[in-house]
Structure 1
């Protein structure tokens, strides 16, 4: 590993999450003679509290997680607490003429087809097996259904999510990064100020600041890639509007159209058939990778009904509701509200999704636990061994219900709107996040549940059971949904600088050698967790830069 910062690098990548690491490793793979500098804010032994997260102000903590629950500093970035879910975007996410998103789709289907060519290489980095995302294309499971009597029509059950180890990119790829002589890994440095682009749009250097002592260093490179996550990549650009000097204006979309996903539970499902024929948990491929199916809608149906892209999967009853009367679930709930244990078992955002902060009925959970002994202990012990004592971990916990009743977890697209945005405060440093749910977001979630209910009833498979009166559903969606983990839209791809911030090659408008490799470049959120698909963009960018 070369530490000579006086050298001009071929490529400088800022941020070492999955996108940054994949960009670096793939770039070196196709350009073995080139030199790369990878700059990371975090460093080994760093305290959790840090200046970047401390200088973020979130205006809506009901629907957006605290900064410390959204990102991680250090090599590997947010993959340090990432669950490992790998999901593909859909063609509908790239359609420009969907009325439901008000003309705010600024990429196109041809780009989708182009990025898909890099999905196989991406799956290798994520260690999630063959990138097949439809159960009907896997011989071992083709034709199997989610529940007795289910058949595919307007509603499908064949769309898959795949799961990585989960792969912690920092620990997984540190040795490879450090052993490569053409890569310089610089930890504990914050990217600060770019020089203005010259007449040809080339930016020559960037100042970086030592996080420990404040010392400032200048680094030179032929190309720069911002892969510091949506918040920090956007903050750097908001602080460096000089990069747009040759445009004569700052792209109006910069910092705007911030999206995540609408996420939560407002209902359950009651299947009519044999509970032993319900596919409530994970399938496992012959190669050992885990996959899981979800309810989805065909593209034609979503367009016909003007629905936002939404997936819904069957899930356990609410852990914090003691009325499930399941001793194992109560035991796991109690573990998740125990201060020391909860930090060991799950990231804060996931722990909150399980407990909802509820601690009022501990006694009733203890009773559930006692009455189900010894299975209250045996079942969690088996799950613990599968989740923590093997290399490829069980991604989550789903328990069989003999009543064939499960909750429904929705994960839905948001409408891109200008008022959801990131902006700098007057000090030029503090990042203010404005984030809210739109009426269209909420209405689409409710309509999606209604359509699944009608479909299940029409094929005599089951029914949706709402947990709230119809008139209270909108309020319930707003109360349960909380994101900020998936940060999308603030540096979006578009054909012009009037519409977006980067072009289809992720190159920053107004420059010739600065790129943004972040889910902030995605104009639409779809239903998908963005990490995997961003990895495909990273592979594509690294090959483009050669």
Structure 2
């Protein structure tokens, strides 16, 4: 919808991922008399290849996914291939620890303030009630992941909630178009901004038609950059005039880039009744899927200077036929089939199953034959629940009669200055420097040891490592691959010396430019950032509304 493009908009939002769409919908609903311009790079003729991803250079492809696997162009942005996992950040993410130190530039007051926007966010994300702990849900309060488990240093009640998964473009496009105060402009790239005036006010944005390269300018009272970490960072690096009212460009811009360490290095063998182990999904009363995660008490993490980490029960490695599961082998064979595999899962998820390897095909076929008919029936049932229902089965977890499950870890990274994004000499290419530190890796190992000790002491179970102790660090470095959960490059802080935006997401040096991207998160938590960014989007829309009231 491209109408009234010559007027002054109240808010101009760049990017239509979940953050941009939620900000636009929430603000336009709160302010029906105010106008919103929503700008998206991807257009109706958008192809897989695009200039933005083609102009990204990743220095470390062992631990960082390809640009085309990290983001999506088009209405809905990252939600086009988002799995639907909704996870809250934790209080420990807002507490200074020696390894995080001065890089923890937000605080518990901010965390507690954001909680009032969680309920509204769950509505946009369609993930059920705003409860992220089983003890807050009467039907599950007091239940345990397995026989004999006791909460303490290790917890089992923190949960992830699952969306449909909601494809924000498909889900909200008609609502965006119907709203008379929202204008959607697709197929345009944000290029530049006017410099702030003497009061710090930025008046115009320049955009470029992706196909024709025609330049247009729009005027707005406020601007919100919600184009994702990579593109928000690139825009700001290319528009340092936005910081002309400051003594210098914020020194942290583009730096302290973080994702997550993720993978499997061990299994857990529980001692109790296998049928009493919560190995898979639970269903909330409203039908939403939820799932337990092992996490660690905040005090323990702070006292031992360890990084926030979640560990959940998982299947054995699909590509290794030693699991002897016909169903798993059939799913592996499906994923390595070039055309079918791409249709069933996004590249990053497919990689987590295949690890990019085609091996032991004959042994997998033999597993399928030996496991008939369940080799066919189990995947068929899963296919129906995962692809044909409105609220889809979020993942595949298979029961183990041995009460033995692989453990998948998902761990925070320290904010490390050398992990950064910078422009190439042409001021167009975005170069990403990304690596894992010894602190990151050692924390993963220590927390597995903590879990093992805790389970043994409570007579609940024990860990079985897949590697020798002196091989664990190398194994973690080889298997951890992220770059999908991006944060840190425009972090929140109380001064431009320490960050790029203030606690209201306003760009330092300006009065009316805001960043709504996970790039503002100074610590990466154990959680993927999509849901919590939605919380900040709702919060920002409410903050902009209050500015209107006072202007």
SS at match of 1:500: coil
Question: Could you say which residue in structure 2 is the equivalent of 1:38?
Answer: 38
- CA distance, structure 1, for counterparts of residue 370 and residue 514 of structure 2: 59
String of CA shifts for 1:422-465, please: whole Å, max 9, x gaps: 00000000000000000000000000000000000001111111
Question: Could you say which residue in structure 1 is the equivalent of 2:361?
Answer: 362
SS at match of 1:158: coil
- CA distance, structure 2, for counterparts of residue 292 and residue 183 of structure 1: 37
Question: Could you say which residue in structure 2 is the equivalent of 1:315?
Answer: 314
- CA distance, structure 2, for counterparts of residue 280 and residue 100 of structure 1: 33
- CA distance, structure 2, for counterparts of residue 326 and residue 263 of structure 1: 24
- CA distance, structure 2, for counterparts of residue 358 and residue 136 of structure 1: 41
How far apart are 1:236 and its partner, in Å? 0.1
Question: Could you say which residue in structure 1 is the equivalent of 2:57?
Answer: 57
Question: Could you say which residue in structure 2 is the equivalent of 1:78?
Answer: 78
1:302–1:309 contact (8 Å) kept in structure 2: yes
SS at match of 2:290: strand
String of CA shifts for 1:213-250, please: whole Å, max 9, x gaps: 10100010000000000000000000000000000310
SS at match of 2:364: helix
- CA distance, structure 2, for counterparts of residue 111 and residue 171 of structure 1: 32
SS at match of 1:543: helix
SS at match of 2:484: coil
How far apart are 1:380 and its partner, in Å? 0.3
- CA distance, structure 1, for counterparts of residue 272 and residue 513 of structure 2: 56
Question: Could you say which residue in structure 2 is the equivalent of 1:476?
Answer: 475
String of CA shifts for 1:362-402, please: whole Å, max 9, x gaps: 11000000111111000000000000111000000000011
TM-score normalised by the chain length of structure 2: 0.98
How far apart are 1:2 and its partner, in Å? 5.7
- CA distance, structure 1, for counterparts of residue 356 and residue 512 of structure 2: 46
- CA distance, structure 2, for counterparts of residue 388 and residue 44 of structure 1: 25
Say what the alpha-carbon RMSD is for the aligned residues. Answer: 0.7
2:202–2:513 contact (8 Å) kept in structure 1: yes
SS at match of 1:219: strand
Question: Could you say which residue in structure 2 is the equivalent of 1:164?
Answer: 163
- CA distance, structure 2, for counterparts of residue 435 and residue 207 of structure 1: 31
2:319–2:359 contact (8 Å) kept in structure 1: no
Matched residue pairs, number?
Answer: 545
2:2–2:185 contact (8 Å) kept in structure 1: no
Question: Could you say which residue in structure 2 is the equivalent of 1:328?
Answer: 327
- CA distance, structure 1, for counterparts of residue 475 and residue 149 of structure 2: 28
1:2–1:183 contact (8 Å) kept in structure 2: no
- CA distance, structure 2, for counterparts of residue 275 and residue 501 of structure 1: 50
1:173 is aligned to 2:148: no
SS at match of 2:405: strand
Question: Could you say which residue in structure 2 is the equivalent of 1:341?
Answer: 340
How far apart are 1:45 and its partner, in Å? 3.1
Question: Could you say which residue in structure 1 is the equivalent of 2:24?
Answer: 24
How far apart are 1:188 and its partner, in Å? 0.2
How far apart are 1:100 and its partner, in Å? 2.1
- CA distance, structure 2, for counterparts of residue 137 and residue 516 of structure 1: 33
1:90 is aligned to 2:90: yes
How far apart are 1:109 and its partner, in Å? 0.6
- CA distance, structure 2, for counterparts of residue 484 and residue 186 of structure 1: 28
- CA distance, structure 2, for counterparts of residue 436 and residue 116 of structure 1: 32
1:2–1:182 contact (8 Å) kept in structure 2: no
- CA distance, structure 1, for counterparts of residue 513 and residue 47 of structure 2: 31
**Which consecutive segments of 4 or more residues in structure 1 shift more than 3 A?**
none
1:507–1:515 contact (8 Å) kept in structure 2: yes
SS at match of 2:266: strand
How far apart are 1:4 and its partner, in Å? 1.6
1:253–1:491 contact (8 Å) kept in structure 2: yes
Question: Could you say which residue in structure 1 is the equivalent of 2:408?
Answer: 409
Report the more deviating stretch, 297-306 or 528-537: 297-306
1:236 is aligned to 2:235: yes
- CA distance, structure 2, for counterparts of residue 157 and residue 44 of structure 1: 45
Any gaps of 5 or more consecutive residues in structure 1? none
1:6 is aligned to 2:6: yes
SS at match of 2:519: helix
SS at match of 1:359: coil
Question: Could you say which residue in structure 1 is the equivalent of 2:215?
Answer: 216
How far apart are 1:305 and its partner, in Å? 1.9
SS at match of 1:44: coil
1:2–1:181 contact (8 Å) kept in structure 2: no
How far apart are 1:306 and its partner, in Å? 1.5
Question: Could you say which residue in structure 1 is the equivalent of 2:286?
Answer: 287
SS at match of 2:452: helix
- CA distance, structure 2, for counterparts of residue 339 and residue 256 of structure 1: 37
- CA distance, structure 2, for counterparts of residue 100 and residue 466 of structure 1: 26
SS at match of 1:507: coil
Equivalence map 1:73-472=2 (5 Å): 73-96=73-96, 98-472=97-471
Question: Could you say which residue in structure 1 is the equivalent of 2:538?
Answer: 539
How far apart are 1:307 and its partner, in Å? 1.1
How far apart are 1:103 and its partner, in Å? 2.3
- CA distance, structure 1, for counterparts of residue 331 and residue 155 of structure 2: 32
Any gaps of 5 or more consecutive residues in structure 2? 546-551
Equivalence map 1:498-537=2 (5 Å): 498-537=497-536
1:76–1:168 contact (8 Å) kept in structure 2: yes
1:120–1:131 contact (8 Å) kept in structure 2: yes
